[in-house]
């Protein structure tokens, strides 16, 4: 019963935040200097008479009072209508463009996040447990360097090393331009293109998760139940696995979810480095070409992703820590 109420509470909070995000997104794009129709005609070079421009404004709903526009925007968004792209894919529905690009980003960010979280947490637990030993010291210095390195710098480094000098991987894209391979060959081709951006994003965040888990484990190690577990005569490995690591995991869940916003930021630059055609590259193109509907959409999608990540973390936290459930 407690669990259900806790989860429902979190979902309600997430909806509240979603509402804030939508409102924020709506007003953000209302303060853009310049009239969208004037901008559209100026940059596309299509001559429109004053009457036609006015007609276009009316069609786009720009003449309606702000509250009407706002309600319309919310309703459209929930229907999945994100407007029409102006310059990146002129005339195309933004949602269609997303359907094409979002899966690529999901695969890239999803798998690399799982890999870096798993690697960082396991290494961090061992490093903290054997604080100051060789493993900890080397992992610690590696983590600090990776933490200090922008994702795109790591990407450029790999691009130079593996593509320019070793010719091991393609320089970018999602699949070979010429190849029309099918079946297994197609999958191999896609994986071949995915590898460099994937390893870049994975390594870029391992360091952070290592540091988080290590410090969390160090916090736990002073606790009395660890001393008790040891006094019981439990083997060192079991103390770590059953007592220390489990409790140390708790605070990292929230921190990892919060870092997800940064991971997405990293994905934008990494997709750019490897010209990987996902949402990150799309938002960069939209930025270059001042395609505001696409930009508004990508912002919504990114915020939504972080929101969902945090919701998952909250629910997971409730599941991992019984104390949260009973107090909720």
Considering the rule CB under 8 A, would residue 195 count as an interface residue with another protein? no
* Residues binding another protein: number (CB under 8 A): 56
Taking CB under 8 A as the rule, does residue 306 contact another protein?
A: yes
Candidate segments 52-60, 176-184, 189-197, 259-267, binder of another protein by CB under 8 A: 259-267
Residue from 149, 226, 250, 328 binding another protein (CB under 8 A): 149
For 275, residues 6+ apart whose C-beta sits below 8 A from its C-beta are 171, 172, 173, 281
- One of 2, 80, 103, 265 touching another protein (CB under 8 A): 265
The position carrying tokens 């140390």 is 248
Alpha helices in the chain (DSSP H): 2-28, 36-44, 50-59, 66-78, 94-129, 134-148, 151-158, 183-221, 224-231, 236-238, 245-273, 279-289, 292-320, 322-327
Q: How far is the CB of 264 from another protein (least distance, A)?
A: 5
258 binds another protein (CB under 8 A): yes
The number of C-alpha atoms within 13 Å of 235 and in the hemisphere containing its C-beta is 3
Residue 106 in the binding site for another protein (CB under 8 A)? no
Q: What is Dmax (Cα atoms) for the chain?
A: 87
Verify binding: residue 302, another protein, rule CB under 8 A: yes
User: If binding is defined by CB under 8 A, does position 17 make contact with another protein?
Assistant: yes
C-alpha 56/C-alpha 231 separation (Å) is 78
Q: Do residues 212 and 152 touch, judged by C-beta distance below 8 A? A: no
Near another protein by CB under 8 A: residue from 46, 91, 148, 182: 148
Q: Is residue 298 a contact point for another protein (CB under 8 A)? A: yes
Cβ atoms of 294 and 283 closer than 8 Å: yes
Which positions lie near another protein, rule CB under 8 A? Answer: 17, 20-21, 24, 28-29, 31-33, 144-145, 147-153, 156-157, 159-160, 163-165, 171, 218-219, 221-222, 258, 260-262, 264-265, 268-269, 272-273, 283-284, 287-288, 290, 292, 295-296, 298-299, 302-303, 305-307, 310
């Amino acid at each position: 019963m407690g669990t259900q109420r806790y989860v429902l509470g979190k979902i309600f909070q997430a909806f509240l935040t979603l509402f804030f995000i939508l409102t924020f997104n709506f007003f953000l794009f209302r303060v853009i200097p310049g009239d969208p129709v004037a901008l559209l005609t100026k940059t596309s070079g299509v001559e429109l008479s004053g009457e036609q421009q006015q007609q276009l404004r009316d069609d786009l709903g720009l003449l309606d009072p702000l509250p009407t526009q706002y309600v319309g925007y919310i309703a459209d968004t929930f229907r999945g209508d994100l407007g029409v792209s102006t310059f990146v894919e002129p005339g195309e529905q933004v949602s269609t463009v997303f359907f094409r690009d979002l899966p690529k980003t999901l695969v890239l960010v999803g798998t690399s996040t799982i890999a870096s979280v798993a690697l960082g947490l396991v290494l961090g637990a061992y490093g903290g447990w054997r604080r100051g030993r060789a493993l900890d010291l080397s992992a610690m210095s590696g983590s600090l360097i990776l933490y200090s390195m922008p994702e795109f710098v790591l990407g450029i480094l790999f691009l130079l090393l593996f593509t320019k000098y070793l010719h091991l991987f393609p320089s970018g894209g999602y699949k070979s331009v010429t190849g029309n391979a099918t079946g297994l060959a197609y999958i191999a081709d896609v994986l071949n293109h995915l590898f460099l951006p994937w390893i870049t994003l994975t390594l870029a965040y391992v360091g952070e998760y290592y540091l988080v888990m290590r410090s969390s484990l160090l916090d736990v190690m002073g606790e009395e139940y660890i001393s008790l577990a040891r006094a019981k005569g439990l083997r060192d490995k079991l103390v770590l696995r059953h007592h220390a690591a489990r409790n140390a995991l708790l605070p990292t869940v929230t921190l990892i979810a919060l870092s997800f916003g940064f991971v997405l930021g990293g994905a934008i630059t990494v997709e750019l480095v490897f010209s990987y055609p996902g949402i990150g590259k799309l938002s960069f193109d939209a930025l270059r070409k001042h395609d505001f509907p696409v930009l508004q959409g990508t912002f919504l999608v990114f915020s939504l992703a972080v929101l969902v990540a945090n919701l998952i973390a909250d629910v997971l936290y409730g599941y991992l820590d019984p104390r949260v459930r009973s107090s909720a």
